[in-house]
Amino acid sequence: MTGSEHVLLTPYGLRCDHRAEPLGLDAGTPLLSWRLRSGRRGDAPAAYRVRVRTEDGVLVWDTGEVADPEAASARYAGPLLRPRTRYRWQVSVTAADGAVGAAESWFETGMLGPSAWTASWIAHDPAALDVMNAPEEGELALADHGLQPAVRLRRPFEAPAAPVRARLYVTARGLYEMRVNGARVGDAELAPGWTDYRDRIDYQTYDVTDLLRAGGNVLAATLADGWWSGFVGFDPRRSGAHYGTFPQLLAELHLEYADGTTGILATGGDWETARSPIRYADLLMGECHDLRLETPGWDLPAERARPEATRDRETEPEEPRPAESQPAESRPEGTPAGRASGDGWLPAYVAGTDRALLTASVAQPVRAVQELAPRTVTRFEDGRHLVDFGQNFAGRVRVTARGLAPGDRVVVRHGETLDDRGRLYTDNLRTAAATDVLVAGADDETIFEPRFTYHGFRYAEVTGLTALGTGDITGVVLHSDTPWAGEFACSDPELDRLHQSIAWGQRSNFVSVPTDCPQRDERLGWLADAQVFLPTACLNADVAAFFDGWLRDVRGARSADGGFSNVAPRLAGVADEGAPGWGDAGVLVPWHLYRVYGDERVLVRNFDAMCGWVDFVHRHNPDLVWNRRVGPHFADWLAPTPTPRDVVATAYFARSADLTARAAEVLGHPDAAERYGTLAGHIRKTFTERFVTPDGRIEGDTQTGYLLALAFGLLPAELVPGAADRLAELVEAAGPGLTTGFLGVGLIAPVLDAHGRADLAHALLTRAEPPSWLHPLRNGATTIWERWDGYTAGRGFQAAAMNSFNHYSLGSIGEWLYQGVAGLAQAPASTGYRELLIRPRPGGLTWARASYESVRGTVSTAWTREGGGFRLEVSVPPGASAVVHIPAADPGGVRESGIPAAEAAGVRIVGTEPGALRCRVTSGEFRFTADVH
Ligand code: BGC
């Protein structure tokens, strides 16, 4: 607004397939996108031009000048991309007045297909894993879980020179951490992430050029069970080893030297393996480091390993082979390892060469994104320390332990809350032990941080240390590193805390896949949870790549006859057949992503599955009331007032059919659009005939029933006002209060608002008795609870069997904080934030503001109400326009930057309504003022 007028139209925030500078891309035709900013009101793009070059400047693809004022992306359509190649690309955007702005970025291809790989899957010989000592009585509390040690693998090699470029392509069946010459490679955590490993295994690419040198080098790895062979989910009959029984590594190091020669070092039988000092590492159970078993220098070239590092080695590693001569596999697949090379190092076991499922990861990895200092550390009489991080989160702790003798143990237990006596409460973790153990070695001071596990917790209880200061322990926050995109704040600190706890719920549960909860023995990709929370998630962060990745598993989890599942990645032991609202996520999620990010490819990829799902439901429910093949029918899960199941199901059936029709239209499939559009119409008609009385009462007469009908547009126009009134009555009669569960909760504020009752939406936000959002906050919540009454003063905790304090579903109100309270929304028919709807709903607040980094650029709103005046500041990115509703007692008196709105540049009055003026504005920054007496 001030000082930025000189900024011309400029592209920024360049993305390739929704990621900044992706390394190792397997897509042949990536989407290159950009955002725009400008300091000039009304600035708009007229044309763009994208040029892609090789690193040495050879032009590969040039769109030429494309006159398209709406474009914010271009799909690569040049010659076949070469594997393992970096491309630089530039976008220049010409403004309507001829000014040109440009920006540059790069992407680098990966292996571009499974056939390029030569590496084998290698592992520690599973028959040799009994090297773990039998635990002494009480030594390892988790011995009965049958956990196995994490293993180390390494391959010393000789490089003729320092490479000018080195890339490591790597994945695991299990979890890996790679090291080169003792240094950790990259910052990805829990890599390669969770996919249905039977369908697809993601690999990652790292630039390791700077870690290598001329002469002796060591490429090394630690492997742990993770989702592959560790515990996942809650089914006691099928609690672990869902995909395999021991972890395996597959990696290729590609080297390029200044003289043009190249080398490849691939995993194979010439690697060696040993068990690691990590006696077990499991996502649910926790991790145990036994530092008495540590062999420092194991990952260093022999001449750099410290003397003590090799003290218990009988022999040094074999003479390394030059990296140029890639060794043939030394043993046929699956044969057992041969003779040990000394000190417990065995030749690697070659577990196979199947590379058909390898594909580059498409989303940001999990990273340690933030550290939390403890708020308090309390010491109990029995020597335990209780650490309060002040925030429920997903991650782990890093502890500095001092004064321990070899063999002393430090035990860290994790919990979300405390019991009535102020002790760690862990009953709600069910079978997840969530316990990390350090067994001290000879060192005086040890820094302990688990590597292959994570927990959902706010409190950590530490046993085994005589002293623990606040500086000795840190909370390490882990989550998929989706770029944060939204900000919200307002004059009510409790609503700010609500927003923050919603955001922390998102952080805690976007860990490789969208999970229901991060703490108990579950942490599954439940489809409905993801679907209901998605609109909020998309405003908080850029989750385009994250969900694109997960949707591959949603498609993969379908039944042979087209049914979506309840969880993805699918998991044995969890009821497969998608319930209403759960299976429908396979339709709702792609549609919403398309609307937010404007990338049609998400519809292209999912369209067949969407059709398949609607056909599946239709086939089994030809009378159009969905009451057969409903899976476990969770209905409006955890609703205080249940809504009839057939009402919920049939509403979702109509919704899925309708969105599939709209997707068909977008993709240019008129026949399908017609077919699903007609079907949707018939389902709506059936819904009304079966469930709605002539005076507009919906069967069950519940809030969720009306919400689904109104939000999904199921009712004939003449019944809408009555239904909206009845909804308002029900909300009023409840307190005002809500009686919705997972499926209704995200709709309640937007629907009330859409029907003129934003006042009731505000009333729900300020209610403090359960069910409400403030009840948990006033009872110490820092994340959204799974249940409205997870804890109540009189009764205490809800049933421990299902009582998470970090579930995001009920946090789907977050969308309305942005869209309603702050008034920052995309217009209903818009995609990719081309048209905005700025319509703040102040309620009893005095100010609110929000900003959102959209695919087109930054959108922001900020309003204040002071005395009788209302001020609204709006920022609209170039290429977008907005309809702005300005609250005003006298719509004719609204001013923009001090002059009557009707005369302001870039502002066109489009109408008035009681108490508000409606304008359409161009891009740029606007400052409206009005009287609201
Ligand atoms: C999960 C939910 C999920 C539900 C299915 C629960 O155990 O935690 O979030 O959607 O099961 O009803």
Distance 516 CA to ligand 1 centre (A): 7
**Alpha carbons 592 and 538: distance in angstroms, whole number:** 9
State both tokens at 171.
Answer: 């994945």
Ligand 1 mutation target, pool 529, 633, 804, most atoms within 8 A of CB: 529
Residue 652 near ligand 1, beta carbon < 6 Å = no
- Return the ligand 1 atom nearest residue 528 CA: 10
DSSP character at residue 482: P
Distance 201 CA to ligand 1 centre (A): 26
The fraction of the chain above a pLDDT of 70, given in percent, is 93
State both tokens at 332.
Answer: 């046929």
**Alpha carbons 882 and 874: distance in angstroms, whole number:** 9
Distance 577 CA to ligand 1 centre (A): 14
Tell me, what's the pLDDT at 142?
A: 47
* 224 contacts 284 by C-beta, under 8 angstroms: no
* 723 contacts 699 by C-beta, under 8 angstroms: no
Most confident among 140-154, 320-334, 617-631 (mean pLDDT): 617-631
Please check the confidence at residue 327 and state whether its pLDDT lies above 50. Answer: no
- In this structure, the residue with its CA closest to atom 1 of ligand 1 is 516
Reported confidence tier of residue 318, pLDDT bands at 50, 70, 90: very low
Please check the confidence at residue 906 and state whether its pLDDT lies above 60. Answer: yes
Mean pLDDT, residues 523-533 taken together:
98
CA atoms lying within 13 Å on the CB side of residue 482: 28
Question: Structural domains in the chain?
Answer: 3-109 (2.60.40.10), 114-131+143-360 (2.60.120.260), 835-931 (2.60.420.10)
* 720 contacts 709 by C-beta, under 8 angstroms: no
Mean pLDDT, residues 834-844 taken together:
97
- In this structure, the residue with its CA closest to atom 9 of ligand 1 is 516
Query: In sequence order, what are the residues at sequence separation of 6 or more whose Cβ sits closer than 8 angstroms to the Cβ of residue 312?
Result: 295, 343
**Alpha carbons 283 and 287: distance in angstroms, whole number:** 8
Residue 177 near ligand 1, beta carbon < 6 Å = no
| Interstrand relation of 486-490 and 510-511 (parallel, antiparallel or unpaired) | unpaired
Tell me, what's the pLDDT at 127?
A: 84
DSSP character at residue 783: S
Amino acid at 182: G
Alpha helices in 755-825 (DSSP H): 758-766, 774-778, 814-816
**Alpha carbons 667 and 658: distance in angstroms, whole number:** 14
Give me Rg for the CA atoms of the chain: 29
* 673 contacts 665 by C-beta, under 8 angstroms: yes
Please check the confidence at residue 342 and state whether its pLDDT lies above 80. Answer: no
Distance 517 CA to ligand 1 centre (A): 9
- Return the ligand 1 atom nearest residue 529 CA: 10
Chain center to CA of 757:
33
Among the listed residues 561, 545, 695, 665, the one whose alpha carbon sits nearest the alpha carbon of residue 615: 561
Alpha helices in 712-838 (DSSP H): 720-733, 742-754, 758-766, 774-778, 814-816
Q: pLDDT tens digit string along 255-309?
A: 999 999 999 999 999 999 999 999 999 999 999 999 999 999 999 998 777 554 4
Please check the confidence at residue 332 and state whether its pLDDT lies above 50. Answer: no
What does the angle CA 573 – CA 579 – CA 583 come to, to the nearest 5 degrees? 95
Distance 195 CA to ligand 1 centre (A): 19
Q: pLDDT tens digit string along 430-445?
A: 989 999 999 999 998 9
Residue 870 near ligand 1, beta carbon < 6 Å = no
* 28 contacts 112 by C-beta, under 8 angstroms: yes
Tell me, what's the pLDDT at 291?
A: 95
Reported confidence tier of residue 680, pLDDT bands at 50, 70, 90: very high
Tell me, what's the pLDDT at 234?
A: 85
- In this structure, the residue with its CA closest to atom 2 of ligand 1 is 516
Please check the confidence at residue 98 and state whether its pLDDT lies above 60. Answer: yes
Ligand 1 mutation target, pool 232, 526, 636, most atoms within 8 A of CB: 526
Residue 577 near ligand 1, beta carbon < 6 Å = no
Residue 521 near ligand 1, beta carbon < 6 Å = no
**Alpha carbons 524 and 697: distance in angstroms, whole number:** 37
The Cα-based distances of 159 to 85, 248, 255, 269, 270 in angstroms read 22, 26, 9, 20, 16
Helix, strand, or coil (residue 616): helix
- In this structure, the residue with its CA closest to atom 8 of ligand 1 is 516
- In this structure, the residue with its CA closest to atom 4 of ligand 1 is 526
**Alpha carbons 62 and 60: distance in angstroms, whole number:** 7
CA atoms lying within 13 Å on the CB side of residue 688: 19
State both tokens at 398.
Answer: 């890093």
Among the listed residues 317, 42, 255, the one whose alpha carbon sits nearest the alpha carbon of residue 907: 42
The answer to whether the peptide bond before residue 776 is cis (omega within 30 degrees of 0) is no
Ligand 1 mutation target, pool 513, 519, 534, 634, most atoms within 8 A of CB: 634
- Cβ-count burial 396-407 (b if 16+ within 10 Å, e if not): bbbbbbeebeee
The Cα-based distances of 652 to 471, 581, 625, 682, 705 in angstroms read 52, 6, 10, 13, 11
Q: Kindly report the pTM of this predicted structure.
A: 0.95
The answer to whether the peptide bond before residue 569 is cis (omega within 30 degrees of 0) is yes
Among the listed residues 5, 27, 10, 22, the one whose alpha carbon sits nearest the alpha carbon of residue 77: 27
Tell me, what's the pLDDT at 337?
A: 33
Q: pLDDT tens digit string along 735-785?
A: 999 999 999 999 999 999 999 999 999 999 999 999 999 999 999 999 999
Tell me, what's the pLDDT at 303?
A: 77
Catalytic machinery residues: 522, 786
Residue 528 near ligand 1, beta carbon < 6 Å = yes
Tell me, what's the pLDDT at 340?
A: 39
Q: Which residue in this structure is represented by tokens 């994570």?
A: 454
Tell me, what's the pLDDT at 6?
A: 59
**Alpha carbons 537 and 923: distance in angstroms, whole number:** 25
Selected residue with higher pLDDT from 303 and 666? 666
Average pLDDT of the chain to the nearest whole number: 93
Among the listed residues 930, 931, 923, 897, the one whose alpha carbon sits nearest the alpha carbon of residue 8: 923
Residue 516 near ligand 1, beta carbon < 6 Å = yes
- In this structure, the residue with its CA closest to atom 3 of ligand 1 is 526
CA atoms lying within 13 Å on the CB side of residue 288: 23
Distance 790 CA to ligand 1 centre (A): 14
Residue 785 near ligand 1, beta carbon < 6 Å = no
- In this structure, the residue with its CA closest to atom 11 of ligand 1 is 526
